[in-house]
């Protein structure tokens, strides 16, 4: 029996489209067991209990890479705290968990870097799977079909206020609204801010995050799919946010605040209630560990 915990992730962080992401302390937990025959699922909706299940697909991908022949697999979702299709890396958590679980079954044949490469091959881009696997803030790019990455550990001086709408938004739908081409001006705009936001976290100059997390490639297009986006965005800054951005493809919004700010979440909840905006608000910290195999019972 193998138990794996994987953190939620927030990708892009404003300007870092498909290349920047951070892990947060909200988790999905899974259990894997090799059985005598067949494919068995627990804690998963019936329509996903088949060979197309993303967790199983990841496990099978790893097994094939290792040329490992298995008789059967039992997959259990013990806890699913990461909301589905909200821009918090739910599908990436399943991919990473399946790969880590399979790798444990075969005796840790693959390194973490090799698991990352497999995860990117399955997911298509590294911005969520890299922090889900390694924790912290991860910058990851593709170079000659290989993933090149660098992890930055984040000190607990800031919190991430996760503002979760009460509806789903698929990545596929959110990508459809993006332009096929961008201007040189927009490219320069994002290059500078991507560099700046990384430097903000490295040097702890969090007062610069407001300018750094602005974006010209995806956020202005995707916000049209999210009612109340502008109002909540503006209110976050009014309440003292250091930065605010669309998490991944959305619809979740992320506000970065100083750890010393105590009233932000309550005031934001009051505002949402006053406008009858039925969104959830969570205070999260950075997870610097990433995916782990848990000994004993999951907590």
Q: Is 137 helix (H, G, I), strand (E, B) or coil?
A: strand
Q: Closest by alpha carbon to 12, among 247, 221, 212? A: 247
89 is in an annotated binding site: yes
93 is in an annotated binding site: yes
263 is in an annotated binding site: no
274 is in an annotated binding site: no
The per-residue b/e assignment along 114-125, b for 16 or more CB within 10 angstroms, e otherwise, is ebbbbbbebbeb
84 is in an annotated binding site: yes
The per-residue b/e assignment along 35-58, b for 16 or more CB within 10 angstroms, e otherwise, is eeeebebeebeeeeeeeebbbbeb
The residue assigned the tokens 């202005």 is: 220
85 is in an annotated binding site: yes
83 is in an annotated binding site: yes
DSSP annotation of 83: P
- Neighbour count for residue 70 (Cβ, 10 Å): 14
On whether the CB atoms of residues 287 and 23 are closer than 8 A, the answer is yes
92 is in an annotated binding site: yes
222 is in an annotated binding site: no
Q: Hey, which residues does 98 pair with through a beta bridge?
A: none
Quote the tokens at residue 230: 């502008």
What residue spans of the chain are helical by DSSP H? 54-66, 90-105, 112-123, 129-134, 171-176, 184-203, 209-212, 219-222, 229-238, 264-274
| Orientation of helix 229-238 relative to helix 264-274, angle to 10° | 140
Give the annotated binding-site residues.
83-93
Give the annotated binding-site residues for ATP.
83-93
């Amino acid at each position: 029996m193998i138990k794996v915990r994987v953190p939620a992730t927030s990708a892009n962080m404003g300007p870092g489209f498909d290349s920047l992401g951070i892990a947060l302390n909200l988790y999905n937990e899974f259990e894997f067991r090799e059985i005598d025959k067949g494919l068995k699922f627990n804690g998963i909706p019936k329509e996903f209990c088949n060979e197309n299940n993303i967790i199983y697909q990841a496990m099978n991908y790893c097994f094939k890479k290792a040329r490992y022949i298995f008789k059967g697999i039992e997959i259990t979702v013990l806890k699913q705290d990461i909301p589905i299709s909200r821009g918090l890396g739910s599908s990436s958590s399943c991919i990473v968990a399946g790969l880590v679980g399979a790798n444990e079954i075969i005796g840790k044949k693959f390194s973490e870097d090799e698991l990352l490469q497999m995860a990117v091959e399955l997911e298509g881009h590294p911005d969520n799977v890299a922090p889900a696997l390694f924790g912290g803030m991860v910058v990851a790019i593709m170079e000659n079909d290989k993933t090149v990455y660098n992890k930055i550990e984040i000190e607990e001086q800031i919190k991430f206020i996760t503002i979760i709408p009460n509806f789903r938004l698929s990545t596929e739908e959110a990508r459809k609204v993006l332009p096929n081409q961008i201007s040189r001006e927009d490219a320069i705009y994002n290059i500078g801010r991507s560099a700046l936001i990384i430097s903000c976290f490295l040097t702890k100059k969090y007062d610069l995050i407001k300018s750094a997390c602005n974006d010209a490639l995806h956020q202005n297009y995707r916000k049209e799919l999210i009612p109340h986006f502008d109002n909540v965005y503006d209110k976050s800054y009014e309440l003292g946010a250091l930065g605010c951005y669309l998490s991944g493809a959305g619809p979740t919004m992320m506000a970065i605040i100083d750890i010393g700010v105590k009233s932000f979440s309550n005031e934001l909840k009051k505002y949402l209630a006053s406008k009858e905006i039925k969104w959830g608000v969570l205070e999260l910290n950075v997870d610097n560990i990433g995916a782990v195999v848990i000994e004993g019972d999951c907590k």
